[in-house]
Every structure is written in structure tokens, then in C-alpha cells.
Amino acid sequence: MKNYRKPKQETDAESRHRRHRRLVRIGQVLMAAGALVAISHWIAHLAATGQGPRITEDIFIGYPTGGLLLLFGAVIAGRTETKKR
């Protein structure tokens, strides 16, 4: 007969730390994506006259999207690690 044992439970501190590091990395990825969106939008503005982004792209897609991604990423990455209770 096989021995069915429960897998070793991780300590709470380890799981909290891993969750915190995962959130920090997700926040950093969001911040990098926001920077890429803003930089690509800026490069689109450097195009010759008449070939730049349309007004709808300028209002909704360009800098606001890049800024929101940067902001959300900074909020997620900047959270403090949970304390022991």
C-alpha cells in the first residue's frame, strides 16, 4: 500500500515573502510596459508632419495609457511586505 502523506506545509513567512516578491515583479513589468508605451508614443510624435498619431490615439492610447501603467505598476511594486501578526 502506498504511503499518502500530506506535502510539507510551507511556513507562512516563506509564502508571504514569495507573494510579495511576485507582486513586486508584476509591478516592475507593468512599469516597464508603461514606459514602452509612452516612449513609442513619443517616437510616433517625432514622425514627419501629418503622419503622427490621430487625436483619438493621442487622447486615449498614448501618454495616458503609459502613465496609468506606470502608476499602477508603482503602486503594486511599492507595497510594503506584510508584517507578522
Domain boundaries, the chain: 30-85
pTM: 0.73
pLDDT at 82: 66
Is 60 exceeded by the pLDDT of residue 85?
Answer: no
Among 1, 83, 2, 76, residue whose Cα is nearest residue 32? 76
- pLDDT average, residue stretch 28-37: 94
Rounded alpha-carbon distances, angstroms, from residue 65 to 3, 8, 18, 20, 58: 54, 43, 29, 25, 10
pLDDT at 42: 84
pLDDT at 14: 83
